[in-house]
Structure 1
């Protein structure tokens, strides 16, 4: 167990525990699912989904991962300082006038438009060298990527490409979280069709969901993200991944609420019976989203206290949350004790559903004010 903090533990209102061994185990599990010689990369964008890019990069590299995907160039440059020998791709592509930074630090942009491709190939022509980069072809998500027609024309245009040949051709699934959605097969078929003339170049389609959907989606390289961190790749069904993170908040006060009284801002939650509530020192400023609060019309999320469910009462505030602990044994409600807000017993996907969002948003928002601890979650 290790701790990385600026202040003594007792001064933090919440604690974020991250299990690097679980992270490594999830990557090895996914790598074991891949067909043939498919390489398992890792998406560690957004500070490794909120858990810490440096820790995640070192952990995954030690586990055997050699290719990493981030979003923006600044993430790539920070990662290069940590992993001097890794292959690093920047998914958001080539921002205007930044090519020199990519070359200096051996970062590979994922070229997502014809203009980006033209700028990169001009660079290759000016140096007479093939500088590594990926090309993104849009198979239906309509975000980044060359259209299939643009891709086919560009890849066949020797005058445009000059010495450039991509090190990777990739696309991104729009509906991978719903594995039976017909969009997945349409994208797979289109990706196969448009890349077939260039099949000597490594190809990548699978995110976390694509890994679990089977070998048809694997191609040469997979780039899982959410599953590495214990999140759900699919919206429904069993999640085979180990939890990697636990969020706990400290109890500040326990008090009685008579029936008919209201709890929290806006008086949105009314006590229907005599209640005991516990106020904990974490809120939406710590990434525990306000939308997961409770009202008289709709239930909110919940926390767990040593096996006992504690529903959220009223609105989630910036710095605190009120929990219904009426049915929790009093000896577990000590001032200063920790309550599990997210973790092995409160899945990120489950609590996210109360906030009408996904576990990605929860994970990437967590813990700017929390104590950070690295070790087992139990």
Structure 2
């Protein structure tokens, strides 16, 4: 095995419980395991999160939902599952057959689901209606378009409105004007739902940053009052959807220009990264000063160096932006508590690191590519991206520890 990923079930469960405590008893936390649990493995993570108390799991599509559902069945637990990408017509039968809950935004989607469910008024099939409050991605627009959808729901009984939801584009910005506008539109949309005589069981919005953002909190350990109040309008239960924070990371909380309130993260320092990515040294060599290292000789040895070869590269998810040249310091790996800097360019399946100062390193020794001492935040900073992309990009055999 050239590299492998160790997933800490204990840390994953602890992160979930932290988030649940942060939002308080009046709000549920949906555990998002979409995109293969952000690269951590949806099947094992779903089982851990269900055992930790998650009532809802979020998956990408019907296929992922069916796979996760099978793993949960083997474990003897079965939280509800939200298919977060809007259900396509061809997915309707799968969604209905497996009792998944789809996100919808138009009548055509619901008609397909009603047909798949046999238009059975005695057993209406539940959906969650997404409202586009300003992200222009998924969802029905408030106002007339929403009234049309709600009118259709009111005139039939094969499909029931189990939930109403929206997603915020700037949840990590304290005092965000965009988020404030989206909240107002969402509250108005929920008012339209109530006026149509529909009674959803769930009202949900936001992500990990919504929990993290101090501008959204009543107290340092309190609830999300704006969300709870909107849910109460509909006689529903509030829910927030968390993904990244479950796996030990959060985006930095930024400050809207002119905002004078608290902009300190509520959870960042308390989260525990769940993924550790490891590999083993496959070769060790010494090179003389002036030796060109790696493709195009972009790194020149400034002195006699001892180099270790690792069998991981950009094909495995180690970003090429972590490469080191004479003019640019790149990433590093960890041997215990010692750093070994990358030298030269990251190759497709091979990377060279400097172990000149770690003379004990030998063939077969473990190196941490991502974990304690070198985090997804470090990789993201060096690669000019976000930790989501780093975690989702890791391609290696996973094992739950």
TM normalised by structure 1 equals: 0.87
Counterpart in 2 of 1:267? 297
Counterparts of 1:177 and 1:235, CA distance in 2: 5
Q: Give 3-state SS (helix, strand or coil) of 1:322's partner.
A: strand
Counterpart in 2 of 1:209? 209
Matched, 1:242 2:272: yes
Counterpart in 1 of 2:151? 157
Matched, 1:175 2:201: no
Give the superposition deviation at 1:60: 0.9
Deviates more, 1:112-121 or 1:292-301: 112-121
Deviates more, 1:201-210 or 1:250-259: 250-259
Q: What runs of 5+ residues in structure 1 fail to find an aligned partner?
A: 1-11
For residue 359 of structure 2, the aligned residue among 330, 335, 338 is: 330
Deviation string 1:139-192 (CA, Å, 9 cap, x unpaired) is 222111112235531354157752233211111121223445432222222222
For residue 125 of structure 2, the aligned residue among 113, 121, 131 is: 131
Matched, 1:185 2:215: no
Give the superposition deviation at 1:317: 1.0
Equivalent pairs counted in the alignment come to: 360
TM normalised by structure 2 equals: 0.83
Matched, 1:140 2:134: yes
**Aligned residues: CA RMSD:** 2.3
C-alpha change, 1:194 and 1:64, in structure 2 (3 Å) is same
Deviation string 1:194-222 (CA, Å, 9 cap, x unpaired) is 22343653211121111222314644011
Give the superposition deviation at 1:271: 2.5
Matched, 1:299 2:294: no
For residue 33 of structure 2, the aligned residue among 44, 66, 78 is: 44
Matched, 1:87 2:41: no
Deviates more, 1:104-113 or 1:25-34: 104-113
Counterparts of 2:116 and 2:155, CA distance in 1: 10
Deviates more, 1:60-69 or 1:150-159: 150-159
Counterparts of 1:31 and 1:151, CA distance in 2: 34
Counterpart in 2 of 1:310? 340
Counterparts of 1:295 and 1:61, CA distance in 2: 46
C-alpha change, 1:300 and 1:159, in structure 2 (3 Å) is closer
Whether contact under 8 Å (1:232, 1:349) holds in the other structure is no
Deviates more, 1:171-180 or 1:279-288: 171-180
Deviates more, 1:165-174 or 1:187-196: 187-196
C-alpha change, 1:113 and 1:320, in structure 2 (3 Å) is farther
Counterpart in 2 of 1:3? none
RCO higher in structure (CA 8 A, sep ≥6): 1
